[in-house]
Amino acid sequence: MSATLITLQPRPHDLDPSVDHGIQAIVAGASTAETCNTDLAAGPWDFDARPGYGPGSSMGDVIPTGAPRQGELPAEYRTASEHDLHARIRAAKATLGERVVVLGHFYQREEVVTHADYVGDSFQLANAALEHPDADAIVFCGVHFMAETADLLSRPEQAVILPNLAAGCSMADMASIDEVEECWEQLADVYGDLDAVDADGRVPVIPVTYMNSSAAIKGFVGRHGGIVCTSSNARTVLEWAFARGRRVLFFPDQHLGRNTAKAMGVPLTQMPMWNPRKPLGGSTPAELEESRVILWHGFCSVHRRFSVDQSDKARAEHPGVRVIVHPECPMAVVDAADEAGSTDYIRKAIAAATEPTTFAIGTEINLVQRLAAQYPQHEIFCLDPVVCPCSTMYRIHPGYLAWVLERLVAGEVVNRITVPADVADPARVALERMLAAKP
Ligand code: SF4
């Protein structure tokens, strides 16, 4: 598999891209900015023992029973200063050398990203691991499904480590394997044999899952002739699927599915929602027969915060502003923006701007503030004025990174993420289809 690697860019020192520093200033009364939850200023260990996605998450997000919990972080890491944690991380990395690779997601907090060997989106980072077949350990500073994907793509001997097991993804959790299996059975009641091809050689429905899903869901898709997509290639993948199926079952993110299919000309009336808590997902058999894309009732709590009002306000206050949003945002927000694209698209759009430009960006704030610091010639701000990072990504505090690295120095692997072979094999098939997909 090919890899697109993004190495760290040197950052100017007069701009502080740290969201955490901003939240600490808000809580201390030194900033007039607003945060969605002042508990974000606490160490994640204060709430790791409690089930949930942590402060800043949407009230509507319900964590699944049995979601991984993080054990107590030793006190020496909880009480260490930021300065000491940075020194310990640097020392552990120096000792481990080539034996470890640290990966940091675009949405990860700055205090962790500063120690990453690579920064990128989930798939870029999983591929970055491939560039280091000799590394014993891959420390993935992202969320659970990302570490699973890295495990799928790395050598079996390599240990993929998630520094805080509580770093899940509420969107990925919105499509459980049991719910998806149940949905598939119900669709078979409507469409008949799901493997039967029509005169055009197409089956009734092709399952497509967003990269932001569990390995179990990727495995399901692989077993049923389906495919994985990213926010960068969703259109290509849907074209691949429409060539092989009369319709698509798209999960977990309804917004990426709707925004992509709408841009391809699929009418909204042919995109029913599948709510796993309702019989037939809440649609009639006739609606399902007419459908082209069945959208799973999932969403990202971070991207759902963006609104058309925010976009209007940005335009009123910053004439000439370029509004760019992520396709996980609701359709109305995407329609009101100048452009929509993946994190990689957003990053490249800013990098390509030759004239000083004002950008209002609709994606996670850690990436937005990092871009603002990297490109001081532009004015770059988050479309949402409230400081509200991805609450699960935020669970990876430097204390956890120091802990897992120092355990590696001591010869112990903690927080390893392993995908069982019966899931991994079909999941890899679904990923390989994505890489081979041609419209
Ligand atoms: S930003 Fe949204 S989709 Fe991404 S990890 Fe956070 S909750 Fe999941």
| Ligand 1 contact via 212 beta carbon (within 6 Å) | yes
Residue-level pLDDT at 5 = 42
Segment 236-251 mean pLDDT: 98
| Least confident residue range of 16-20, 26-30, 76-80, 384-388 | 16-20
Query: Is 106 close to ligand 1, i.e. is its CB under 6 Å away?
Result: no
Considering only CA atoms, which residue is closest to atom 5 of ligand 1? 169
Give the C-alpha separation, 260 to 293, whole Å. Answer: 10
Ligand 1 site, residue 391, Cβ cutoff 6 A: no
Element containing residue 178 per DSSP (H, E): helix 177-191
Kindly report, residue by residue over 75-122, the tens digit of the pLDDT.
Answer: 999 999 999 999 999 999 999 999 999 999 999 999 999 999 999 998
Question: Using an 8 Å Cβ cutoff, are 148 and 122 in contact?
Answer: no
Give kind and range of the element (H or E) at residue 406. helix 398-409
Element holding 290 (H helix, E strand): helix 285-290
Q: How far is the CA of 290 from the centre of ligand 1 (A)?
A: 31
Ligand 1 pocket residue status of 121, Cβ below 6 Å? no
Mutation to probe ligand 1, out of 170, 214, 256 (largest number of atoms < 8 A from CB): 170
Confidence of residue 2 (pLDDT cuts 50, 70, 90): very low
Assess whether the C-beta atom of 122 lies below 6 angstroms from ligand 1: no
Share of the chain above pLDDT 90, in %: 87
pLDDT of residue 327: 98
The pLDDT, as a whole number, for residue 180 is: 98
For the chain, how many residues are written?
439
Average confidence (pLDDT) over 392-401:
96
Instruction: Write down the pLDDT at residue 59.
Output: 65
- Among the atoms of ligand 1, which is closest to the Cα of residue 146? 5
The pLDDT assigned to 48 comes to 84
**Exposure of 156 in the CB half-sphere (CA atoms within 13 A):** 4
Residue nearest atom 2 of ligand 1, based on CA coordinates: 300
Element (H or E) spanning 241, and its range? Answer: helix 234-242
Phi, psi dihedrals of residue 106, rounded to the nearest 5°: -50, -30
pLDDT in the model for residue 313: 97
Higher pLDDT, 123 or 371: 371
pLDDT of 127 over the 90 cut: no
CB of 388 shorter than 6 A to ligand 1: no
Query: 64 vs 257, which has greater pLDDT?
Result: 257
* The pLDDT of residue 4: 38
Residue 11 has pLDDT above 90, yes or no: no
Residue type, 251: F
Closest ligand 1 atom to residue 169 Cα is 8
Is the CB of residue 147 below 6 angstroms from any atom belonging to ligand 1? Answer: no
Question: What is the 299 CA–ligand 1 centroid distance (Å)?
Answer: 9
Cα separation, 413 vs 76, in Å, equals 19
* CA-atom Rg of the chain in angstroms: 22
Identify whether the C-beta of residue 166 lies closer than 8 Å to the C-beta of residue 54: yes
Position 69 scores a pLDDT of 85
pLDDT of residue 15: 60
Q: Is the previous residue joined to 279 through a cis bond, with omega within 30 degrees of 0?
A: no
396 lines ligand 1 (CB under 6 A): no
DSSP state for residue 269 in the 8-state scheme: G
210 CA from centroid of ligand 1 (Å): 12
Verify whether ligand 1 is closer than 6 Å to residue 293 (CB atom).
no
**What is the average pLDDT across 59-79?**
86
Pairing of strands 322-325, 379-382: unpaired
Percent of the chain with pLDDT over 70: 96
C-alpha 143 to ligand 1 mean position (Å):
8
Confidence band for 336, pLDDT divided at 50, 70 and 90? very high
Task: Report pLDDT for 301.
Answer: 94
For residue 343 and ligand 1, the question of a CB distance below 6 A is answered with: no
Is the model's pLDDT at 307 over the cut of 50?
yes
Determine the pLDDT at residue 51: 78
pLDDT tens digits for 168-218? 999 999 999 999 999 999 999 999 999 999 999 999 999 999 999 999 999
Task: Judge whether residue 274 has pLDDT over 60.
Answer: yes
Mean of the pLDDT values across residues 369-374?
96
> Residue 3 has what pLDDT?
34
Rounded to two decimals, the pTM is 0.94
Compute the mean pLDDT over every residue in the chain, rounded to the nearest whole number: 93
Average pLDDT for 408-429: 98
pLDDT at 330: 98
